[in-house]
Amino acid sequence: MHLTLRQLQIFEAVVRQQSFTRAADVLHLTQPAVSMQMRQLEEQVGLPLYEQVGKQIHLTDAGRELHRHATLISARLLDLQAAMEAFRGVQRGELDLTVASTANYFAPKLIAAFCSLHAQVKVRLQVSNQEQILDALASTNTDLAIMGQPPAQADVVARPFLDNPLVVIAAPTHPLAGRKRVALSTLGKETFITREPGSGTRNAAERHFSRHGIEFHSAMEMSSNEAIKQAVEAGLGLGILSLHTLELELAMRRLVTLDVEHFPIMRQWFVVYRKGKRLSAVAQAYLEFLTQQARALASPKDPLADARAA
C-alpha cells in the first residue's frame, strides 16, 4: 500500500463528520475532491472501507481497523507538532559539543548555566585536540566546538566569545615569585615546562618571545596541562598556561603566577561550526548564550590584577 497522510486525514474527517460534504467544509476542500481521495484510498487498501446508506456512512470491518490506525497516526502527528514547537522554543533538544582540553576547565560551568535555562536539553560533550575537533566539524559529528583560534584554511565559522589569558606560573618557592614587574628578558634565562610541539599554548608562547627578541627554552615536554602543573610545582621549571586551568592550584597556593612585563598573553576562545551548517534551535541558542553570557560566567580571576591596581 502507498497511503498518504493526506488521505488518512481526509478519511478520519469523513468518519468524524459522517458526511463527505461536511468533511470537505472542515478541510477547505470541494466535495468531489474528498470523494476522489476516498476512492483512491479504497483502491490502495484493496478493500471496501465504508457503505453509504442514505446520508449515513457506515464503516466496514476493514474501515474500522483503518480508522483506528488513522486516529493513532493523527495523535502522533500532534505529538510531533508539539515537539517541533518545543524545539523552536528551545524547551528541549540535543546538543553535540566538542571542546579543546583546556576549555574543559570552564565548559561544564557554562553547560550547567545553559541547562538551568533549558532543563530538557541534553548535551553530549566530547573533549578532543584541535585536529580531532576539526575532523568532527568536517564530518558533521558535532554541532559546535570550543577551541582556540582555528587555522585560517579551516572551512569553519569562528566567533570569539571569551578571553583566554596565558600566564607564567612558578612554584611558590621560585626566586621570581613575588617580584614586581619582572622583565621579559629575565625569562630568557629560565627553563620552561611545555606542551608538545604544535600545541596552541606553546606556539603562542614561542611567538610571543620571538616578537620581543628573546629565546624561549623548553626543558621538558608534557602531554597535558595537569602534568605541566605538577612539574612546575615540583620546581622543575616555569610554565605558561591558560589562567582558566589554574583556579584550584592558585587558591591552594600550590602555584603562583609571576608578574612579568608583556604578560598575560591575551588570546581568545572561539565557538566554531562548519561553514554552511544549518544550526538547530538548541545549537543557535547555545551560540547566542556563549556570546552574550560566557564572559560574565567564566572569566578567570587574575590574582595579580588586584595587586597591580593597588
Query: Does the pLDDT of residue 140 top 80, yes or no?
Result: no
Tell me which residue of 110, 105, 79 sits closest to 95, measured CA to CA: 110
If phi over 0 gives left and psi between -120 and 50 gives alpha, with beta otherwise, what is residue 189?
alpha
Are 167 and 257 in contact, with CB atoms under 8 Å apart? yes
- What is the pLDDT at residue 308? 53
SS3 58: strand
- What is the pLDDT at residue 306? 55
Give the model confidence (pLDDT) of 157-196 as tens digits: 999 999 999 999 999 999 999 999 999 999 999 999 998 8
Q: Is the pTM of this model over 0.75?
A: no
Distance of CA 157 to the CA centre of its chain: 14
What is the number of other CB atoms lying within 10 angstroms of the CB of residue 276?
7
Give the model confidence (pLDDT) of 201-220 as tens digits: 888 899 999 999 999 999 89
DSSP 157-221: EEEEEEEEEEEEEE-TTSTTTT-SSB-HHHHTTS-EEEE-TT-HHHHHHHHHHHHTT----EEEE
- What is the pLDDT at residue 244? 94
The pLDDT > 90 percentage for the chain reads 62
Q: Which amino acid is present at 189? A: K
For residue 257, the cross-strand partners are 169
- Which triple of cell numbers denotes residue 299? 572569566
- What is the pLDDT at residue 152? 86
Quick one: pLDDT band at residue 56, thresholds 50, 70, 90?
confident
- What is the pLDDT at residue 147? 93
Quick one: pLDDT band at residue 265, thresholds 50, 70, 90?
very high
Q: Is the peptide bond before 197 cis (omega within 30 degrees of 0)?
A: no
Which helix (H) or strand (E) covers residue 40, if one does? Answer: helix 31-45
For residue 158, the cross-strand partners are 272
SS3 108: helix
Ordered by where they begin, the domains of the chain are 5-88 (1.10.10.10), 92-158+269-298 (3.40.190.10), 163-266 (3.40.190.10)
